[in-house]
Structure 1
Amino acid sequence: MKILLYANGSSENHGCEAIKLSTIKILGNNHQYFIGTTNEKYEKLSNNIEYVNYTFNKKYALYERIGKRLGILKKVKGKYLLDHFFPYFSQADISLSVGGDNYCYEDAGWLYYLHNMAIKNDKPSILWGCSLEENLIDINMRNDLSKFHKIIVRESISFKTLEKMGFTNIKLIPDPAFVLDLKKPKVLKVEDNIKYVGINLSPLVERKEKRDGIIKENAINLISYILKNTEYNILLIPHVVTATNNDMDTLLEIKKTFSNNKRVVLIEDQDCQELKYYISKCDLFFAARTHASIAAYSTKVPTVVIGYSVKSKGIAQDIFGTDDKYVIPIDIIDNDNILKESFLWLLKNKEIIRKKLYNFMPQYIELTYELKNVVDEIVNGVE
C-alpha cells in the first residue's frame, strides 16, 4: 500500500517526527510512504520513505514582511507552493492529513488546497489525530472537514465539538505518538542515582504570555526553589528546534542563569526517541509542547502542562478525568510563583498520579492501534 502523510512539518519539530514514526509503527513498515516535510535535510533517509518538500513562496514572505504594513500584495498565493504534491496524491492509495493542531489556526487555506488534491484524485483521505478549536470552525472549514472519509480526533473536547455540530465521520482515538518507542542516547547526560525534574519551554508559549518575561521568571524561580530546597537536579529538554520557533533559544537563556550550577543540565537536540528517553528518566515534568507531554504521560511521569489550546486540556481530561492542576492555562500565569506552586502540588501528589498513569496508560496506548483498522477498512472499502 502507498500512503501519503501531508500537512506535517519536518523532524525539527519532534512532535511531527513522533507522529511520523508512530504512524509507521502502527500501520507497518511494509508500505511505501510519501511524507511531506519543511526541511528534507533534517530527515533520516529510509528505503520505504520518499520525502516531499513544501516549497516556500518567496512572494508570500515579502507580503508578510512589508505587504501588510503597506497594504500591497494582498492576493499573493499562500505560504507554500503546493502543486508538486499532486502526483503523490495520485499515486497514494490513501492520504493522511497529519492533523495535530493544524486546524486550530486561522490560516487553514493551504490545508484545504492539499485536501482538494486527494478529492480530485478520487482517493480516500483521513484527518489524522487532530484537535480543533470550536470558534475557528467556519463554513469553509466545515466544508473541508465534511469531505474526509474519517476524522480521527485525539481528545474528547474536540470530538464533542464535532459531534455537537452533526459530524458523523468522526472517531476518537489517542494521538499516535503515545506508542513512540524510546531510545537510549549514545552519550548519556543522566545518572541512575540522581532524580530529575524535567522542564520543556518554548517561544510559542512565551509569545502567548500575559506579561513579557513572566514564563522565564517562573522557570527561574522554580529552578531556584528546587535547587535550594530539594535534592532534584534539573533537565532542560527541547522538543522543537525549527529556525523561527526554537525551544533551545528559551532554554539556553534559562541555562545561562544557572551556568555555574552542574545540577542544571541542558539536553542537546536529538531525535524524538532519544528525547523521550530523557523525559522518561524524570521524576516530575513540566511541558510546554504537547508531544513532550505525550512522551511523559506514556512513560508514566507525573506531568504539568503549560497550555494554550484545547489539545492540552482535552488530553489531560481523557487521562485524568480533569485538566484542573494538570494544565496551567498560559493566560493565568500572572506572577512568578505559579510554576513553583504547581511543582509543590505535583510533588505532594506524584505517587497518586504515577499510580493513575501505570493503571491507565497501557489500555489507553493500546487504543491507538485502532488506527490501523480504520485505514485498512477504508482502503478495502468495508468501513
Structure 2
Amino acid sequence: MNIGLLWHTPNSDNLGVSALAIANLIIINEVLTEKNITNITYDFIGTSGQKSLSIVDELSKDLNCNINVVRYSLKDLLFRKLTLKSTDLFSKYSYVFDIGEGDSFTDLYGFKRLLNMTVSKMHVINSKTRLILSPQTIGPFDTKVGKLLSDFCMRKAYKIFVRDDLSSKYLQSRNIEHDLTTDVAFHLPFKKLDNKFENVTVGLNVSGLLYSGGYNQNNQFGLKINYKEFTERLIERLKFEGVNIKLIPHVTPNHLPLENDFVISNELANKYNLAKPILYNTPIEAKTDMSQLDFVIAARMHAAIGAFSSGVPVIPISYSRKFKGVFGSLGYDFVQDPKINNSDEIIESIVNIIKNTNAREMVPKSLKLANVKINDYRNTLSELVNVNEYKK
C-alpha cells in the first residue's frame, strides 16, 4: 500500500513540524498494521528539511516499512509541465494525508503559502486519490480568495480533522463537515528521564521570531509586551526566585537568523550565565530532555506540547489562537496571552503558577483527555480505511 503524507517534514528545523510528521506517521501505521496490511510505503511530501534524514531511517526500521522523502513545490511542478514530464504525482497513493505543516492552511502567511497549500490539495483531488486533512489548525481566512480556495479544497476532501475549537467553529460557520480531535504531537514517543535537579528547574523556550519582533521586526503579532524586554525580565525574576533555567530552542533555521531560537538562546546564556542550550536534532530528543524538568515556559506551541505530553506542566506564551485552541480544548487554563496582558501581569502569573500545585495537578487530567482524543482519531481512521479498496 502506498500512502502519501503531504506537508509532513520529518527533518524540519522547526521541531514542531517534525513532531507532527513523525507522530502522524506512527498513528497511521498503527491503524494499518492492526488491519494486517503489510508492505506499506510512506512518502513524506513537501518542503525539504534542513536537518539530518537519519530519523527517516530510524522510523523505517522501527515501523518495518518503506519511507521516502519527496519534494513538492509549485516551481518544481511548473518545471515538470514545461519539460513535458508527468505531473501525475498522487494517483499511485491509496490515501493522501495532508497535515498542512500544522497551521499553514490559512492566508495569514501570505498568498504564496496559501497557493502552495491549496494547489497541492487540488492536485490530489484531480488524481482521484482520497484526501484526508489530518488534525491541524485551519484558518483564519480573511481574504475572499482565501475563503474561495479553501472552501473548494475542503468540500472535496474525503475527511477533515481539526485540532482546536477555533478551527472547528470556523468550519461550522462554513457548513463544512469535520471531526474535532487534538494535536497528534501528543503521541510523539520519548524516553522519560528522572528529575535529578536539586532546585526547581524550569525549561525556557524563547521564540527567536517573537524576540525579533516578527518577520517585519515591528511587533508583527500585535503583542502588548516588548517580548525581548519581557524575556530578559522573566529570566531575572526567575533567578531572583532561586529557579534554575534551562534554555530549550525548538526552531533553529540557519538560513533565517531572525527566527532562530538557538541563536537567541545562546545570547541569553552568555548574558545571564546560563547553561549553553542544546541543538536538538529531532523533536524526540527535545521531548526526552524536557521530560526531566519541573516546568516549561514556551513561546513555541510544540515545545509546550512536547513538555506537556511528557508529563511536565507548561506555561505557554500565546501569540496565536492555536495555543488557546489546543490547550483550552483539554481544559488546561494556564496559557498566558501577551495580546491582552502586560509584562508585569504575565511574569507575576508565571511565578505564582510555578509556586502553586494547580498546574501539576491538572496535567494528568488534561493528558488523559488528549489520549482519548488521539484514540478517537485513530478509531475514525480505522473506519475510513477500506482494506478491500486500496491501490496495490
**Normalising to structure 1: TM-score of the pair?**
0.81
Partner of 1:154: 163
When residues 209 and 182 of structure 1 are mapped into structure 2, their CA distance, relative to the original with a 3 A threshold, is same
In structure 2, the CA distance between the partners of 1:374 and 1:89, relative to structure 1 (3 Å rule), is farther
Match of 1:315 among 310, 316, 326: 326
Letter in 1 for 2:352: W
Select 1:270's aligned residue among 269, 281, 294. 281
Provide structure 2 residue ranges, at least 5 long, that are not aligned to the other structure.
31-37, 61-65, 215-219
Q: Does 1:2 align with 2:2?
A: yes
In 2, Cα distance between equivalents of 1:321 and 1:225:
24
The Cα shift of 1:152 comes to: 0.6
Partner of residue 195, structure 1: 200
Equivalent residue runs for 1:1-383 within 5 Å: 1-9=1-9, 10-28=11-29, 31-36=40-45, 37-39=47-49, 42-44=52-54, 45-46=56-57, 47=60, 48-54=66-72, 57=75, 86-99=87-100, 100-104=102-106, 105=108, 106-107=110-111, 108-136=114-142, 138-168=147-177, 170-183=178-191, 191-205=196-210, 206-207=213-214, 208=220, 210=222, 214-230=226-242, 232-242=243-253, 243-244=255-256, 245-258=259-272, 261=273, 263-320=274-331, 322=333, 326-332=334-340, 334-335=342-343, 337-349=344-356, 351-380=357-386
Shift of 1:342: 2.8
The 1-side partners of 2:6 and 2:308 are apart by 26
Deviations 1:224-283 (A, max 9, x none): 1221222x211110111123232112212222211xx3x544222231111002222221
The secondary structure found in structure 1 opposite 2:280 is coil
Deviation at 1:198, TM superposition (A): 0.9
1:308-334 alpha-carbon deviations (Å, 9 max, x no partner): 222101112112265xxx233343465
Q: What amino acid maps onto 1:297 in structure 2?
A: F
Count of aligned residue pairs for this structure pair? 349
SS at match of 2:68: strand
Unaligned runs of 5+ in 1: 59-76
- Length-normalised TM-score, structure 2: 0.79
C-alpha separation in 2, matches of 1:84 and 1:217? 53
Amino acid at match of 1:180: L
- Could you say which structure has the higher strand fraction? 1
Runs of 4+ in 1 over 6 A off after TM superposition: none
- Flag the 1:150–1:55 CA change in 2: closer, same or farther, 3 A: closer
Distance 1:338 1:354 in 2: 21
C-alpha distance after superposition, 1:114-169 (max 9, x if no partner): 1112111101011111113344352222112211111110011211221232112x
Q: Percentage identity across aligned positions? A: 26
Three-state SS of the structure 1 residue aligned to 2:279 is coil
* Aligned-partner residue type, residue 202 of structure 1: S
Q: Is the 8 A contact 1:222 1:339 kept in 2?
A: no
SS of the counterpart of 2:285?
A: helix
| Worse-matched range after superposition: 233-242 or 37-46 | 37-46
